[in-house]
Amino acid sequence: MTSPTDQQAHWAKRRRRGRVGLYALVLAFTLMAAFPFVWALITSFKADQDLYNRNNNPFIFNIEPTFEHVRLLFDRTAFTTFVSNTVVVAVLVVVITLVASLPAAYSLARLNLRWGGAMGIAIFLVYLIPPSLLFISLSRVVSYLGLQDSRWALVVLYPTITIPVSVWLLMGFFKGIPKDIEEQAMVDGYSRLGAFVRTVLPLSFPGMVAVVVFSATLSASEFIYALAFVSQTSQKTISVGVPTELVRGDVFFWQSLQAATLLVAIPIALVFNAFLKRFIAGFTMGAVKG
Amino acid sequence: MTAAAPPAPGRARRRRYLFDRDGVLAPLMLLPSVVYIVALVAVPFFLAIAYSLSDVTVGDPSYDYVGLRNFRAVLDDPVFRRSLLNSLFITGVTMALVLVLGKILALVLTRDFRGKWLVRFLILLPWTTPVSLAAIAWLWMLDSLFSPIDWTLRELGLLEGNLHWLGNPTLAKASVIAVQVWRIVPLAAVIIMAGLAAIPQDINDAAEVDGAGFWRKLFEITIPLTLPITAVATLFGAVLVFTDMSVVFVLTRGGPVDATQILPTWAFFRGISGGDLAQGAAVALFLFPLLLAMAVLILRSVRRMEVM
């Protein structure tokens, strides 16, 4: 039998050991996650003579850091073109996604539809048929539509990926809004559609934000369609432009490449972090209540 | 809800009644999404099946039915067989690692510690970064001459020269798996965290009152209760890894000598670079049965979540 003070000391020791273990794990995970980006950050500012010397310590600046390669990225490469293409594609994809998925999600969440349940599952099953399965036959469809080698092909194709996910996500949000609110609006004389536009849409703003963030980041990250259907430099988006164009033959512009990676990665991560809670709520609601 | 103009009477009102009927309104609101998905997912999917049974190439797009010839040719091709095995192997190993690491990371992130915002930001970076750009960062980290990993090993006296990460078949495969695990673990952890947050606090409290320690709670409460959502997280990750081609494309282009070739890259090299649309479609279609299995499992897990 141990005395109470002994036991307290025992628990304190156990808790301390737990804290040390926790911080060790946090540190290990953070290092693993961030290491490639830290290495990219150091690389971006390295002078050639420093970078291409196997005996130099790669983690410090053996020669003074330089902005030369970041400037090269903006002045001498098509990086800014890739960024503006990505923005154009992302904005249009977001618009198409919202216009199609908002009414569809409302219809599945609220209206009595004979095939509603089956439709919900069918929309989920679209997930089964990913770009890597479709891109071969789509290459013929794209050239039939006259969109080959153009960023418009991406504008048309990306909503096939974003619409199903967004419908799924918005369904969860709509189900979380009390029915009484629309019913009251309808009693006040609005049609079903009017009630949807005037009461449900404003209340589902958080869900729309999640859809916007998801669709925009997908447009920036998608790789297969962008690689298979766009080969002109002036039409490429960042996800394919950066890895394929910042290379001359076998010569990689390593510093500029790493700078480009960071310039894209950090803003996207900041936006995602700001909306993370909303995302988790959206996906679990869609999953649990769907 | 008293603001705005009152609805107009007369003909507009009749039209309104029509739109008030669920039977009319519901299909109308679904229509744009359904048309979009049918035109650009369902049609290309059946087109892919049709192509795989034909001799269509980029140079000669006229359609001639050839039966199962492409499938026979594909199955006889050693590169295809290797791609199929690599796809299964890479996805399998990645998912096992994601399951364990994602669970640990989720448990860590639900605890309180200092600098949480920064830690969360850095841990999510691998997932939020466009995959092809993240792969560029790895490509440089695994460089055959200037890899900082090699440098560190040399300084520690563990290595002479270089490891040539992407030039060695085993290391190249390990590298692809490492990048996939690295980018999927944060996603899995975030999904599992949502499941952890849903465990009622009184269950944990009751267990603590009964004297259950950390490990006991972990194995008898946390893991069983988050099993369905963990399954969902793992399966979603599996689909992402199985269908991704950017990591392999950027890191190795399937090399060295097809050691990291997977189904999506092989379909790309066959169908788009090589112009043989028929065989490319046949290769890509081999993704389908496994995806079907994964989707059935996801739906089952979701249903189990609803029961709880």
Question: Which residues fall within 8 angstroms of residue B291, CB to CB, at 6 or more apart?
Answer: A128, A129, A130, A133, B239, B242, B243
C-alpha count within 13 angstroms, C-beta hemisphere, residue A252: 20
CA of A124: which chain B residue's CA is closest? Answer: B295
CA of A229: which chain B residue's CA is closest? Answer: B272
Is the predicted pLDDT of residue B16 greater than 70, yes or no? no
Amino acid at B87: S
Report chain A's mean pLDDT, rounded to a whole number. 85
Which residues in chain A have their CB less than 8 angstroms from residue B285's CB? 133
Give B258-304 pLDDT, tens digit per residue. 999 999 999 999 988 888 889 899 999 999 988 888 888 877 777 77
Q: Give mean pLDDT, residues A22-43.
A: 92
- Inter-residue contact A129 to B47 (CB < 8 Å): no
Give A54-87 pLDDT, tens digit per residue. 888 888 888 888 888 888 889 888 899 999 999 9
Distance from CA of A148 to the nearest CA of B (A): 13
Structure tokens at A109: 């969440």
Best of B2, B41, B225 to substitute, by most chain A Cβ atoms within 10 angstroms, is: B41
Q: How far apart are CA B295 and CA A67, in angstroms?
A: 48
C-alpha count within 13 angstroms, C-beta hemisphere, residue B218: 8
- State residue B264's pLDDT score: 93
Structure tokens at A26: 């946090």
- How many beta-carbon pairs under 8 angstroms link A with B? 301
- Per-residue confidence band for B15, with pLDDT thresholds at 50, 70 and 90: low
Distance from CA of A168 to the nearest CA of B (A): 12
Q: Closest Cα to residue A136, out of B282, B193, B37, B196?
A: B282
Q: What φ, ψ does residue B287 adopt, rounded to 5°?
A: -70, -30
A58 and B151 within 8 Å at the Cβ level: the answer is yes
| Closest CB to B19 among A129, A160, A191 | A191
- Per-residue confidence band for A10, with pLDDT thresholds at 50, 70 and 90: confident
- Inter-residue contact B169 to B256 (CB < 8 Å): yes
High-pLDDT (> 70) share of chain A, %:
92
B121 and A22 within 8 Å at the Cβ level: the answer is no
| Closest CB to B284 among A34, A37, A132 | A132
Structure tokens at A107: 């219809």
Which residues in chain B have their CB less than 8 angstroms from residue A125's CB? 295
Of residues B282 and A1, more confidently modeled: B282
B138 and A36 within 8 Å at the Cβ level: the answer is yes
Question: Which residues fall within 8 angstroms of residue B44, CB to CB, at 6 or more apart?
Answer: A134, A137, A138, A141
Radius of gyration of chain A (CA): 25
Could you identify the residue written with the tokens 């903006």? Answer: A74
Q: How far apart are CA B280 and CA B75, in angstroms?
A: 12
Of residues A119 and B92, more confidently modeled: B92
Which residues in chain A have their CB less than 8 angstroms from residue B105's CB? 29
Question: Which residues fall within 8 angstroms of residue A289, CB to CB, at 6 or more apart?
Answer: A171, A172, A175, A176
Which residues in chain B have their CB less than 8 angstroms from residue A272's CB? 124, 128
A167 and B33 within 8 Å at the Cβ level: the answer is yes
Amino acid at B187: L
Amino acid at B221: I
Which residues in chain A have their CB less than 8 angstroms from residue B123's CB? 29-30, 33-34
Q: What φ, ψ does residue B111 adopt, rounded to 5°?
A: -80, 165
C-alpha count within 13 angstroms, C-beta hemisphere, residue B7: 20
Which residues in chain A have their CB less than 8 angstroms from residue B268's CB? 135, 224, 227-228
Q: Closest Cα to residue A125, out of B302, B142, B245, B197?
A: B302
Which residues in chain B have their CB less than 8 angstroms from residue A189's CB? 6-7
Best of A32, A137, A142, A180 to substitute, by most chain B Cβ atoms within 10 angstroms, is: A137
Q: Closest Cα to residue B199, out of B172, B224, B234?
A: B224
Q: Give mean pLDDT, residues A248-266.
A: 87
CA of B306: which chain A residue's CA is closest? Answer: A288
Is the predicted pLDDT of residue A88 greater than 90, yes or no? yes
Q: What φ, ψ does residue B261 adopt, rounded to 5°?
A: -60, 135
